[in-house]
Amino acid sequence: MPPAARQLQIVAPEQKKLRPADVGASADFLLSMQEGGAAAVVGLPRTGKGWIVKVASQRMPRLVVFDPYGSRDRLESERGHEMFPWDGDLWSLRELLDHPDALDCSPMRIIVDPHLPRKKLGQAFSALATLCAKTGGPPGDPIWLVAEEASLYSRESTEAFLELTSGSAHHGVKPIIISQSIGMVTLYAMRHVTHIIALNQSADADFENLRKHCNSPSNDFAAAVAAWKPGDRPLHWRLGA
């Protein structure tokens, strides 16, 4: 197995204009998700969406992150660039498929960098999602599976996302989708999402996805996201609320 990666401190970059209290409240919102739930965290670059999930992840005993930039972010951070990589043990997908027993541990923090070109990311995420679903966990100790930069591969792994989000209660997996654009995450992948944290969005497809998935007669969530600006609190949506 690969050696444990050095622990990387999670800090709040100055460019991110979220207040720590608001980040904490959004982290609590994520952690309130019951088994059977699925979450999406969306926002344009440098808005703080990853910061929210990383803060929440400190209270996730069993964490697996699929991050196509995992190795690169660590390298650039070591070179002095302002990057904020995930902390945990860095694995390739091949290593984890060869050692699936690593997922049985609790606590665990595994960051999976597939080391593959973009066109193969969907297949790689699907393989990881299948492995996590087969492993699962007992009640109260699920695998939190984070899909970083999901818009890069959600269309090629729609079935995996649909299986995860619709059957998470059966698998013992709590999926979290992180994406710059909710419009680039397929509606099939979003169909069973129960929790959304939204920062700013900009494309018509983003607001169309939000209207289809979130709006109700009493809650124009898409309009609230359209009005969001840096410094505002992250917006929360929960199915049925």
Q: What is the pLDDT of residues 204-223, one digit of tens each?
A: 889 988 988 888 877 899 99
| pLDDT at 127 exceeding the cut of 80 | yes
Nearest to 39, CA basis, from 241, 180, 236, 240: 236
Nearest to 129, CA basis, from 95, 97, 92, 91: 97
Whose structure tokens read 């609790």?
106
- Name the pLDDT band for 15 (thresholds 50, 70, 90): very low
Backbone angles phi, psi at 125, to 5 degrees: -65, -40
Residues 178, 68: Cα–Cα separation, whole Å = 12
- Name the pLDDT band for 171 (thresholds 50, 70, 90): confident
Q: Which CATH architecture has domain 39-238?
A: 3-Layer(aba) Sandwich (3.40)
- Name the pLDDT band for 36 (thresholds 50, 70, 90): confident
| pLDDT at 239 exceeding the cut of 60 | yes
Q: What is the pLDDT of residues 46-92, one digit of tens each?
A: 899 999 999 999 999 999 999 999 999 999 999 998 888 999 999 99
pLDDT for res 168: 66
Q: Which residues contact 212 (CB under 8 A, 6 or more apart)?
A: 187
CA dihedral 221, 226, 230, 233 (to 10 degrees): -10
Q: For 142, how many CA atoms within 13 A lie in the half-sphere containing its CB?
A: 24
Mean pLDDT for all residues in the chain: 88
